[in-house]
Amino acid sequence: MALSDLLLLGHESDLLSQRGVSCTGALPPESDPDLVARAKIARAALGDRALILGHHYQREEVIEFADITGDSFKLAQSAAAQDSVEYIIFCGVHFMAESADILTSKNQKVILPDLAAGCSMADMATENQVNECWKQLSEIGVASKTIPVTYMNSSAAIKSFTGEHGGTICTSSNAEKTMKWAFTQGEKILFLPDQHLGRNTAVLSLGLTLEDCVLWNPWKPMGGLSIEEIRDAKVILWRGHCSVHGRFSLESVNEIRNRVPGVQVLVHPECQHEVVRAADVVGSTEKIIRTVEQSPAGSKWAIGTELNLVTRLAKNNPEKEIFFLDKAVCYCSTMNRIDLPHLVWAMESLVAGHIVNQIQVREDIAHFSKLALERMLAL
């Protein structure tokens, strides 16, 4: 399938030249019919022993075999709600499969079809780095006043750190509520690992100023901050970001508004602060889907999120004009490592009695991670 077809923008046949596409490594073509047939046979053989979860950012050939689609936490909750299922095949990335393993029972096995499917944002905050940060905050006497709030898009080790130190987890849809809760528990927040979601929530939802937020760089001593800056800050943001959402710029917003009269800009809160300020609607993946689906026919939307989802929204809403909010068309490269060949391999291996790529979170890490998740659910 050609990239112009994937964009599903109809009359704009010259879109690629207009957008100046610079990304290399386009997705491979859809898998051949034989592989599709094998997938159907393997899926039928597994029956109700398996549950296939598909994240919204997955490619279409994988979504077609998903029993449930959704964002990361919805999928993990769905897995936990079906404790009779033996195999949870998680078509997402590593931290999502970890969350599913934490929330499911011991007799359930979580499978990630490709172990290379990670998350660059989650990798930007390692256990050693966060422990060192906390040590330095303790040395200057502010750790006891600081509540960690960790985005769902983080490793189990970071979720565990958060649970152990009295913090909670947040999603892009409940970040405001969790940060408000954190301020009832302490004077400061250490927000991990996405600086943009933390900044956007603090400033645009909680009414703090940009000066109330400081950016902790784990590669610099004391995060690259002075003791005074840390003591004065209300929110300490970790220097992490989403490689997809972070690429959208104010220039992208201005360009689409100039080119498409009447277009509304709809972005994810992981986008940069100036992009979120300039957007018409800001929301989680689920809110983005709901906003487009509930909008009137003929409405025009420029969407700042992963391209697989934007493509699917355009396909499912042909009576609306859907645009991708970027000049360079890129997918989430790690999410797209889960393809039909890997899914077929995982399913056929299970049919043959071989468990492959099982994700298992250490019990001590799972304990505090679950505690942090439970605090979020209690809110």
Model confidence over 340-375: pLDDT tens digits? 999 999 999 999 999 999 999 999 999 999 999 999
Cβ atoms 150, 162 nearer than 8 A: yes
CATH architecture of 31-118+335-360: 3-Layer(aba) Sandwich (3.40)
The order of strands in the sheet holding 281-282 is: 281-282, 264-267, 300-304, 321-324
Return d(Cα 40, Cα 27) in angstroms, integer.
Answer: 22
Cβ atoms 113, 87 nearer than 8 A: no
Tally: H helices and E strands in the chain: 18, 13
Task: Check residue 30 and give its pLDDT.
Answer: 59
Task: Outline which parts of the chain fall under CATH 3.40.50.10800.
Answer: 31-118+335-360, 122-241, 244-324
* Token reading at 14: 């010259």
| Residue 338 CB burial class (10 angstroms; 0-12, 13-18, ≥19) | buried
For the domain made up of 122-241, the CATH class stated in words is: alpha beta
| Contacts for 237 with CB less than 8 Å, ≥ 6 apart | 191, 195, 198, 199, 213, 214, 215, 216
Task: Check residue 140 and give its pLDDT.
Answer: 97
For residue 189, give the nearest of 154, 119, 225, 236 by alpha carbon.
Answer: 236
Task: Check residue 33 and give its pLDDT.
Answer: 73
For the domain made up of 244-324, the CATH class stated in words is: alpha beta
Cis, peptide link before residue 269, omega less than 30° from 0: no
* Token reading at 302: 């420029």
Task: Check residue 329 and give its pLDDT.
Answer: 61
Return d(Cα 341, Cα 106) in angstroms, integer.
Answer: 28
pTM: 0.87
State pLDDT tens for residues 144-172. 999 999 999 999 999 999 999 999 999 99
* pLDDT by position in tens, the chain (length 379): 233 333 333 333 232 223 222 333 344 455 677 889 999 999 999 999 999 999 998 989 999 999 999 988 888 888 889 888 999 999 999 999 999 999 999 999 999 999 999 899 999 999 999 999 999 999 999 999 999 999 999 999 999 999 999 999 999 999 999 999 999 999 999 999 999 999 999 999 999 999 999 999 999 999 999 999 999 999 999 999 998 899 999 999 999 999 999 999 999 999 999 999 999 999 999 999 999 999 999 999 999 998 889 999 999 999 999 999 987 766 787 788 899 999 999 999 999 999 999 999 999 999 999 999 999 988 8
